A = this chain, B = another copy of it.
Amino acid sequence: MINKIIKKIKEGQHFLITSHTKLDGDALGSELALYCMLSDLGKKAVIYNEDKTPDHYSFLPSAEKIANKLDDVSKFDVAFILDCSELERVGEKAKEIARIKTLINIDHHISNNGFSPLKLWDGQASSTGELIFRLFEKMRAKMSPEICTNLYAAILTDTGGFRYTNTTKDTLYAAGKLVENGADPQWISENIYENDSPVKIILMKKALETLSLDFQNQVGSLVVTKSALKESGATYEHTEGFVEIPRSVKGISVSILYTQLEDNYYKLSLRSKGKISVEKIAKKFGGGGHANAAACRIKGNIEVVKEEVLEAIKETR
């Protein structure tokens, strides 16, 4: 299969690269690494994402090339659909993209629905970035510092900084190789994790007031309300990483961040230390993700929502 993909890369001239909405480091780093590799080969490539690039990923090499508009798809020979378990994850343009002659799906979600016959898929891989690293190794692509920086960022973020259960020897060897070829671990980590707006800390203070620790069920949570966001001058982006706070407490297995989207409507970010699959919990509410990190949305009063989630966790044990 991987050889077929390499053949398509060699034969193709005009490539579309896309990924899911609610962009993360793995989606962006993977797209940009692929973009840099294709450019190095003298191919034409366009990155299209429905959502805008979050600020703290704008440092990634070639991030300024990402487009948020997609016009005519007829010019593309090949479309890379990265880090998507289903084609629909790319957003409103899914149907148009489906018309492109050759689709190639590179993904590591266990829930992948096999929408693309041509795929590089491994549910055990830490990240789509790690799969692209494998592809580049196989095709002996030139590992430029730009490519290495993008792939390092992809792997770093999808392993929670090499902390999740998906961190394997291959993940760390790949990271080592990327550093050997020009990725700077400190600079990448600083840009992603140490580049916050001060309002984030103000918001964190407010969120901490909602801390709930249920040791009997090993569930910890924080709530970010619309009013907390407003009062601290913060946006949804500033809640990133908050879900790690209850996770840090001894005896807590599942950590949840409830972010209020509307009155009686919450986005849930779920994290597990490994014993419980939060992907299974998110799936019950129409969401998805990985065993250790997942997300979903639930309508209802916060107390009712919390109760429903607790029931779902109990059923999953």
Residues of chain A whose beta carbon lies under 8 Å from any beta carbon of chain B: 161-165, 167-173, 175-177, 179-180, 185-187, 189-190, 193-198, 200-201, 204-205, 208-209, 211, 213, 245, 247-250, 252, 273-274
- Please name the residue on chain B nearest to A244 by beta carbon: B194
Q: In this complex, which of A172, A200, A205, A252 has the most chain B Cβ atoms within 10 angstroms of its Cβ?
A: A172
**Cβ contact within 8 Å between B164 and A186:** yes
**Cβ contact within 8 Å between A169 and B179:** yes
The SS class assigned to the A binding surface is helix
**Cβ contact within 8 Å between A163 and B185:** yes
Q: Bound state CA distance, A190 and B218, in angstroms?
A: 14
Count of identical protomers in the assembly: 2
**Cβ contact within 8 Å between A169 and B163:** no
One of B180, B186, B249 near A167 (C-beta < 8 A): B186
Would you mind naming 27 contact pairs between A and B with Cβ atoms under 8 Å apart? A161-B161, A161-B162, A162-B162, A162-B189, A163-B185, A163-B186, A167-B179, A169-B179, A169-B180, A170-B176, A171-B176, A172-B173, A173-B176, A175-B176, A186-B274, A190-B273, A194-B247, A194-B252, A196-B249, A197-B249, A197-B250, A198-B213, A198-B249, A200-B248, A201-B211, A201-B248, A204-B208
- Please name the residue on chain B nearest to A204 by beta carbon: B208
Q: In this complex, which of A187, A189, A247 has the most chain B Cβ atoms within 10 angstroms of its Cβ?
A: A189
Q: Bound state CA distance, A177 and B168, in angstroms?
A: 10
One of B167, B176, B179, B195 near A185 (C-beta < 8 A): B167
- Given A167-B185, A205-B205, A274-B186, is A175 in contact with B177 using a C-beta cutoff of 8 Å? no
Chain B residues with Cβ below 8 Å from A165 are 186
Q: Bound state CA distance, A106 and B218, in angstroms?
A: 41
- Please name the residue on chain B nearest to A252 by beta carbon: B194
